[in-house]
Structure 1
Amino acid sequence: MRSKFSGLAMATSLALGLSVSSANAALLYKITGKDMAEPSYLYGTIHLICEADFNVAEATQKAFDEADKLIMELDMDDPNMMQSMQAKIFQPEGLKISSGLSEAQAEKLDAFFKANMGVGLSAFDGMRPFVVSGMLMSAQLDCGQPASFEGYFTQQAMMQQKPVEGLETVDFQFGVFEQIPHAEQVQWLADALEDEAGAKAELQRMIDLYQAEDIDGMYGMFIEMDEYAEYKEVLLDQRNFAWQESLDKELQAEGSEFIAVGAGHLGGKAGMINLLRERGYTVEPVSN
């Protein structure tokens, strides 16, 4: 049985094969054209990676330093963002994760939480399933607190006094997952625990593709999973199209932008790279 864990990991990209010789074998892209006064840059991040695997290449740092503004999925510099997230992590309807689990599945999830977080399922039972999945994925990494590209770039922006903007709001991101039935998200969690070794292998495969800078491979890893095919448009495509409207205005304005979004949003026909090219921009990979 194919593990659904990695698909959920990439869906929680709130974060996804093809060979590394693909056309989009890079994480950093230079954007020019359409009478832009100076180039901007597009960078693909991964939302879960161990500190030992975390790396910002020299070319990426240089591109960031040259930019006048940082744009990410969320405005991580907003002091109210975390408060907004905390206010929304629980199901508003009072739904419980345990209500969609068998007794054996609930016991397994309870044991997992106790072993990895020191408290049982009852502490998380009322949370939204995709929030809990993020906790599970962090524990699956087996490296303590994961590193964060978004956190790093936000810190760098603050040090360099660059403005930070978000392409989406917290309310919008949570609304994306509200379009996926609660029961189905709970089932994804249950499936992940049924094959923990497979889940870790899929997560490692995603990290390996990312370290190989294989954007097409990460995208392909997501869409090859039949259980997520019906949600691809909601999780990726619709968001990409909406982002393009905002980015087109930013790219045509004065100044240079460093745009950092989940790497799964870059590949594919409806990916950021192709959509920018369709709008007349030149998007070129930058070797790291």
Structure 2
Amino acid sequence: MKKYFLLLLLSIFQFGISQEIKEKSLLWEISGNGLEKPSYLFGTIHIACQGEVLMSPELQSAFDQTEQLVLELDMDDPGMMGKMMEASLSKDGKKVSEKLGPDLTQKVDSLLQAKMGMGLMMFDNLNLPTLSMQLGLTALDCPMDLGYDMMLLTEAQNAKKEIKGLESMDSQIELLLSQPDEESIQAIKYLVNNFPEAQSELSKMVEYYRNQDVQGLYDFTKKSFEDPKFPQGSLVEFLDKRNQNWIPVIEKEIQSKPTLIGVGAAHLGGKEGVINLLKKKGYKLKAVLK
């Protein structure tokens, strides 16, 4: 009985208390488990409003203390852009407008004209999942800028630091562009018919990021994936399994040299988030606060 009670307490301590990330921080120091020098984990956002992507003193310090940059993808790969462009194109020979039909085509065209100053004709050769993602980006209610991934990439290139990726371009393409056409059309219909709601949802997500609330961002993302109105695939596939696959790669890199790891901030929180998975491996994760 005592043994059972002890195991129960250990279970609660390890898997209960540590599950929810209380600290509000996008930057985390990784130490312990035999590391001679700390590495750092940073939650990025892939798009942002102009003027909001800044190298804070804390992030600059982490960058200066590390010897390499590891992002979700090896964005220094010269062939990456070509692969992305090729993957975004329709493979069945049908144009987007043919698949959407006249009514939805007109609505999508009007939205693109209003938000981007160009009509659907410019996107007619894309596949539907790519178009759905493009429309989702238009819901950002401010002039858009590239996110932290590109900023960190530029900084690492200028500093001549090695740049690596946690997963291959092929695996990310397979995940992001595997949505069936029926689900993509449902998502597109939701966006054009409920655009103010989509803007509000994206605004909430960005606000969680501004507040550095990685647990709140994960919870919000989970709720979004569970909403049948806007199909996005499986949260387990999109976040949890990728996080699990990244851990051995992260361990290898941080054991070899001090590393700055940048991944989408939604990957940090949750039971199967990168922070908790590294803790379970015995590493100490400390929030770097302003």
Q: Same fold (TM over 0.5)?
A: yes
Instruction: Identify the residue that residue 284 of structure 1 maps to in structure 2.
Output: 286
Q: Which deviates the most, 149-158 or 137-146?
A: 137-146
Shift of residue 140 of structure 1?
2.7
Q: Which deviates the most, 222-231 or 262-271?
A: 222-231
Distance verdict in 2 for CA 1:229–1:138, change over 3 Å:
closer
**TM-score using structure 2 length:** 0.85
Which of 232, 235, 243 is equivalent to 1:240? 243
- Is the CA contact (8 Å cut-off) linking 1:251 and 1:257 kept in structure 2? yes
- Which protein has the larger Cα radius of gyration, Structure 1 or Structure 2? 2
Secondary structure of the residue aligned to 1:44 is: strand
Distance verdict in 2 for CA 1:178–1:85, change over 3 Å:
closer
Shift of residue 138 of structure 1?
3.6
- Is the CA contact (8 Å cut-off) linking 1:29 and 1:286 kept in structure 2? yes
Shift of residue 133 of structure 1?
3.4
Q: Which has the higher contact order (CA 8 A, sep 6+)?
A: 1
Distance verdict in 2 for CA 1:229–1:122, change over 3 Å:
closer
Q: Which whole-Å CA distance do the structure 2 matches of 1:117 and 1:229 have between them?
A: 23
In structure 2, what residue type is equivalent to 1:264? A
Shift of residue 35 of structure 1?
0.3
Instruction: Identify the residue that residue 17 of structure 1 maps to in structure 2.
Output: none
Q: Which deviates the most, 128-137 or 49-58?
A: 128-137
Secondary structure of the residue aligned to 2:92 is: coil
- Is the CA contact (8 Å cut-off) linking 2:129 and 2:184 kept in structure 1? yes
In structure 2, what residue type is equivalent to 1:278? K
Instruction: Identify the residue that residue 214 of structure 1 maps to in structure 2.
Output: 213
In structure 1, what residue type is equivalent to 2:54? N
Q: Which whole-Å CA distance do the structure 1 matches of 2:47 and 2:33 have between them?
A: 35
- Is the CA contact (8 Å cut-off) linking 1:265 and 1:271 kept in structure 2? yes
After superposition, what is the alpha-carbon deviation per residue over 1:147-194, rounded to whole angstroms, capped at 9, x for unaligned?
321111011001111000011222111101344322202211210111
After superposition, what is the alpha-carbon deviation per residue over 1:221-256, rounded to whole angstroms, capped at 9, x for unaligned?
111132369601111111111111211111222x20
Q: Which whole-Å CA distance do the structure 1 matches of 2:91 and 2:248 have between them?
A: 31
Q: Is 1:272 aligned with 2:267?
A: no
Q: Which deviates the most, 73-82 or 227-236?
A: 227-236
Q: Which whole-Å CA distance do the structure 1 matches of 2:65 and 2:94 have between them?
A: 47
Secondary structure of the residue aligned to 2:209 is: helix
- Is the CA contact (8 Å cut-off) linking 2:179 and 2:233 kept in structure 1? no
After superposition, what is the alpha-carbon deviation per residue over 1:45-104, rounded to whole angstroms, capped at 9, x for unaligned?
111211133233211111011110000011111111111111211132335444553533
Secondary structure of the residue aligned to 1:151 is: helix
Identity within the alignment, %: 33
Q: Which whole-Å CA distance do the structure 1 matches of 2:280 and 2:21 have between them?
A: 19
Q: Which deviates the most, 181-190 or 210-219?
A: 181-190
Shift of residue 117 of structure 1?
3.2
Q: Which whole-Å CA distance do the structure 2 matches of 1:52 and 1:129 have between them?
A: 31
Q: Which whole-Å CA distance do the structure 1 matches of 2:87 and 2:125 have between them?
A: 11
Secondary structure of the residue aligned to 2:111 is: helix
Please provide the CA RMSD for this pair.
Answer: 2.0
Instruction: Identify the residue that residue 200 of structure 2 maps to in structure 1.
Output: 201
The residue correspondences of 1:247-258 to structure 2 (distance < 5 A) are 247-253=250-256, 255-258=257-260
Unaligned runs of 5+ in 2: 1-19
After superposition, what is the alpha-carbon deviation per residue over 1:184-205, rounded to whole angstroms, capped at 9, x for unaligned?
0221121011111111111111
Shift of residue 145 of structure 1?
4.0
Instruction: Identify the residue that residue 43 of structure 1 maps to in structure 2.
Output: 42
Unaligned runs of 5+ in 1: 1-20
Q: Which deviates the most, 205-214 or 124-133?
A: 124-133
**TM-score using structure 1 length:** 0.86
Distance verdict in 2 for CA 1:95–1:30, change over 3 Å:
farther
Distance verdict in 2 for CA 1:99–1:235, change over 3 Å:
farther
- Is the CA contact (8 Å cut-off) linking 1:113 and 1:120 kept in structure 2? yes
In structure 1, what residue type is equivalent to 2:169? V
Q: Which deviates the most, 230-239 or 91-100?
A: 91-100
